[in-house]
Amino acid sequence: MRACLACVLLLALAAPAHADDETPVAIGVNMPAAWIVTKGVAVSGYAGITKHFAVRVNLATYANSIDTAAGIGMLLARADQEDHHIGRLYDVGAGWMYFPRGLWKGATLEAGLLFRYRDTRLENDEVIPQLVETHTATFGGRALAGR
């Protein structure tokens, strides 16, 4: 928790981004290292609407794996068990972004919607049930603050 707060503080104190207000679109992807470590790929497309507002659409897919950050805790907690995590998760999101200092400059606030489809399987021969399959579709709201 302290690490998260420190990151937020550093982001808030960082020098403002020098972006061109004339650029109405932007594209972002997750770090290439994540493509290997988490077997996940994410792409976001941004479109400026006014001097302070933009929309963002996000697509992501990642493996149901103990290689992910959340899975590392599970791995440590259950080191004596041999689980086999199989399947993928798929996210589609859209959000309305606000930039108080101007489009693509400084801090941003975002409110949006998220759709997640989970098609996963957990196998473990040492517990009952030995197989747990999950096929879910989830809709939710999200709020983000960033820089």
Q: Is 57 exposed, middle or buried (0-12, 13-18, 19+ CB in 10 A)?
A: middle
Angle, CA of 1, 113 and 138, to the nearest 5°: 85
Give the whole-angstrom CA distance, residue 33 versus residue 69.
Answer: 13
Q: Residue 97 pLDDT more than 80?
A: yes
Give the whole-angstrom CA distance, residue 101 versus residue 53.
Answer: 11
Percent of the chain with pLDDT over 70: 72
Strands 84-98 and 53-63: antiparallel
For residue 34, give Cα distances in angstroms to 61, 81, 108: 11, 25, 24
Handedness of CA 26, 70, 10, 102 (dihedral sign): positive
Specify the pLDDT at position 22: 64
Determine contact, residues 74/66, Cβ cutoff 8 Å. Answer: yes
pTM (2 decimals)? 0.66
Across 104-109, average pLDDT: 93
pLDDT tens, position by position, 55-69: 999 999 988 765 444
Specify the pLDDT at position 9: 35
